[in-house]
Amino acid sequence: MDQTKIDVLRAQPLSAFTHLIDGKQVPASDGGTMDVISPIDGQVITTMAAGTAADMEAAIASARAAFEDGRWAGQPPAARKKVLLKWADLIEANALELAVLGVRDNGTEIGMAIKAEPGSAAATIRYYAEALDKIYGEIAPTPGDILGLVHKEPVGVVGAIIPWNFPMMIGAWKLGPALAMGNSVVLKPAETASLSLMRMAELALEAGLPPGVLNAVTGEGRVVGETLGLSMDVDVLVFTGSGGTGRRLMEYSARSNMKRVYLELGGKSPNIVFADAPNLDEAAKVAASGIFRNSGQVCVAGSRLLVEAAIHDEFVAKVAQAAEAMRVGDPLKVDTHVGAVNSEEQLKANLGFVEIAKTEGGEVVTGGDRILQDTGGYYMAPTIVTGVTRDATLAQKEVFGPVLGVTPFETEGEAIALANSTVYGLAGAAWTSNLGRAHRMVRGVRTGVMHINTYGGADGTVPLGGVGQSGNGADKSLHAIEKYVNLKTAWIKL
């Protein structure tokens, strides 16, 4: 990447951001705005519309009208495919601008952002564009005088609530399959990271997506998010974020039209290292990267390190060395390894977890403090805490920050029991040279994704979903399409 180009984009002033409703840029109905504060330096970089309930209702009405008149759902698959492919091309062509905009908004280091945000989003949209004309219905094995057909139809209006850590990537996980199958979508980006996703939505219109098919409303969750969740005109609601918000969305569904709700609610993922790991140095570097990149603000982050007692001290020292070698700082510098925490509120919460860990007997091996305060930004040193017991707060609660809790174990059975000792089940990993043990760990750890001798590796061809309180349904892969279609049986007497 060219640092000079990044610096030029960073210096560009930003216009105020408004809603996208029915193909038009629309301010909040009451004129309200919200400051956008950059975690890089704590400064206001622009404003965005502070949506009202009326704004969200207008967006939902636009999406419903677009679906009912068939301007998108009624197009042949080849036509939808052409638009989505052009959209992916536009995202790719504007990748650096989108990445810098997103980093200014949420603090992810640019080296990760360029790949994980526009790079991933373009690939995801392209994947579902290529898949949409290869989704077939079915013919049932019915008696000779009866023909049973199974049609796959779009569900209608999809509400998508997107988190702040990877708005473009996760937004594309929802938008790709939903739009590919002919649905209309209403987006609600996160309050603290809306800008890049709003730009991405604008590019969809430039690519030829008809007005009203994709609408986006910014604002507080308790206002516009609640309106979206309670709407009688939204057929499916998809969400990535906290468990508390997920529960509220399920309640909104029950209080309204019983809309289907699909949730990805984070995790407390175990990274399990056995003494027979093939390369402890590599495992340590990957363990550090797996929790500290993007300041630990990754849903699948390996936030619990379970280490076989025989190598505990040696391995923790290796991870600490890797953590201390990571450069924390300005996320728009290409040599930065770890960027900013998304908000001051999130930073305070992270530091609070460290203090709780100390009171519960944990020992801070490295980090544990706010750093670079003179910048005005929100930065935290990569933090490792040992002596974390099975029931400790740091072992049970999702921090969503650069905080790694370490717990020793003696046996394989104990490792599996520790791995399964939380309410979550999103991701996990095991490091071992024993092929049988590797398979036992895949079977034994209750989680949606299990890595062996790696961490964080996966692309759009495989599903990402959780068990337990990590959610339901799956993003990515062809399986994600199932959330956005209705099955209709046609029963025909011949």
Tokens of 54: 């009326």
**Any idea how long the chain is?**
494
Specify whether 264 is catalytic.
yes
d(CA 3, CA 334): 7
Closest-CA residue to 317 (of 291, 287, 361): 287
Which CA distances in Å does 272 have to 269, 276, 429?
A: 10, 11, 6
Tokens of 371: 């750093």
d(CA 393, CA 314): 25
Q: Which residues of 104-123 are buried (b: 16+ CB within 10 A; e: fewer)?
A: bbbbbbbbbbbebbbbbbbb
- Residues forming beta bridges with residue 151, ordered by sequence position: 488
Tell me if 234 sits within 8 A of 258, measured CB to CB.
no
Map the chain to HEC letters.
Answer: CCHHHHHHHHHCCCCCECEEECCEEECCCCCCEEEEECCCCCCEEEEEECCCHHHHHHHHHHHHHHHHCCCCCCCCHHHHHHHHHHHHHHHHHCHHHHHHHHHHHHCCCHHHHHHHHHHHHHHHHHHHHHHHHHCCCEECCCCCCEEEEEEEEECCEEEEECCCCCHHHHHHHHHHHHHHCCCEEEEECECCECHHHHHHHHHHHHCCCCCCCEEECCCCHHHHHHHHHHCCCCCEEEEECCHHHHHHHHHHHHHCCCCEEEEECCCCCEEEECCCCCCHHHHHHHHHHHHHHHHHCCCCCCCEEEEEHHHHHHHHHHHHHHHHCCCECCCCCCCCCECCCCCHHHHHHHHHHHHHHHHCCCEEEECCCEECHHHCCCEECCEEEECCCCCCHHHHCCCCCCEEEEEEECCHHHHHHHHCCCCCCCEEEEECCCHHHHHHHHHHCCCCEEEECCCCCCCCCCCEECCHHHECCEECCHHHHHHHEEEEEEEEEC
Selecting among 117, 264, 308, 412, the annotated active-site residue is: 264
Active-site positions read 264
